[in-house]
Chains A and B, each alone.
Chain A
Amino acid sequence: AQKITQTQPGMFVQEKEAVTLDCTYDTSDPSYGLFWYKQPSSGEMIFLIYQGSYDQQNATEGRYSLNFQKARKSANLVISASQLGDSAMYFCAMSSQGSNYKLTFGKGTLLTVNP
């Protein structure tokens, strides 16, 4: 069974500052993937970044980076230079072959960027 835990129901950050959204996971599969999705108020799910369990380097996509600490089973999302448009719900998710690649999501973190 897979489990994702996001312990921050809400976070605030000042525009142009960096913010870290926490995510811890649990799985018995040796091979798995970790994902972050953004859900703005309009409701769509937007893929942000992916990290494979065997990837040596932390994933980066523009202003997004994933701080992957395998021993701690954490996959925190770092957003640099926050923008007002970053205000949204952020979901951490994972999948594995043993789970038929279905995504297991955390409960999400609501990020608010203040001007």
Chain B
Amino acid sequence: NAGVMQNPRHLVRRRGQEARLRCSPMKGHSHVYWYRQLPEEGLKFMVYLQKENIIDESGMPKERFSAEFPKEGPSILRIQQVVRGDSAAYFCASSKIGLLGGEQYFGPGTRLTVT
């Protein structure tokens, strides 16, 4: 039973380019959460999606960032026109249902470096 998959594991982009981060949840999981970890800090919530729906995007920056979780395929976190401050580790987590105590299983993360 494969865990949460994220790719790429490492991504280098120049300022102004676009970054696309992919997350495939565990089999049978329909809830996906994206978190960002800046250097030396804890993880911060960005967005919560279910298939074809954004449930909570209260942690997403207002501009340049978008997320989707289509009916088929992985969840995508898209960052347009990246800046140096976007350099961080981006984690996605999946859960079977939205449930208190329902464990969120984390992927290995994508380390984004903006040069």
A interface size (C-beta, 8 A): 26
- Of A12-20, A43-51, A63-71, A76-84, the one contacting chain B is A43-51
- Of B12-20, B22-30, B36-44, B65-73, the one contacting chain A is B36-44
Taking a contact as CB atoms closer than 8 A, the residue among B41, B91, B98 that contacts A101 in the complex is: B98
A38 to B101, alpha carbons, bound, how many Å? 17
Instruction: Enumerate chain B residues within 8 angstroms of A25, measured Cβ to Cβ.
Output: none
A93 to B101, alpha carbons, bound, how many Å? 12
A97 to B48, alpha carbons, bound, how many Å? 13
A33 to B104, alpha carbons, bound, how many Å? 12
Contact with A along B43-63 (1 / 0, CB 8 A): 111001000000110010000
Q: Are B100 and A107 in contact (CB under 8 A)?
A: no
Instruction: Say yes or no: is A96 at the interface (Cβ < 8 Å to chain B).
Output: yes
Instruction: Enumerate chain B residues within 8 angstroms of A108, measured Cβ to Cβ.
Output: 41-42
Taking a contact as CB atoms closer than 8 A, the residue among B42, B93, B101, B106 that contacts A50 in the complex is: B101
Instruction: Say yes or no: is A104 at the interface (Cβ < 8 Å to chain B).
Output: yes
Q: Are A102 and B48 in contact (CB under 8 A)?
A: yes
Residues A39-62 near B (CB distance < 8 A): 43-47, 50, 52
Residues A87-115 near B (CB distance < 8 A): 91, 93, 95-97, 100-108
A-B contact count (CB 8 A): 66
A43-B108, A44-B109 as given contacts; A105 in contact with B100, CB under 8 Å? no
| Interface core residue of A4, A33, A52 (most chain B CB under 10 Å) | A33
Instruction: Say yes or no: is A8 at the interface (Cβ < 8 Å to chain B).
Output: no
A104 to B111, alpha carbons, bound, how many Å? 20
Q: Are B109 and A102 in contact (CB under 8 A)?
A: no
Q: Are B56 and A43 in contact (CB under 8 A)?
A: no
Among residues of B, the one whose C-beta sits closest to the C-beta of A110 is B40
Taking a contact as CB atoms closer than 8 A, the residue among A33, A44, A47 that contacts B100 in the complex is: A33
A101 to B31, alpha carbons, bound, how many Å? 10
Instruction: Say yes or no: is B99 at the interface (Cβ < 8 Å to chain A).
Output: yes
A32 to B95, alpha carbons, bound, how many Å? 16
Among residues of A, the one whose C-beta sits closest to the C-beta of B98 is A101
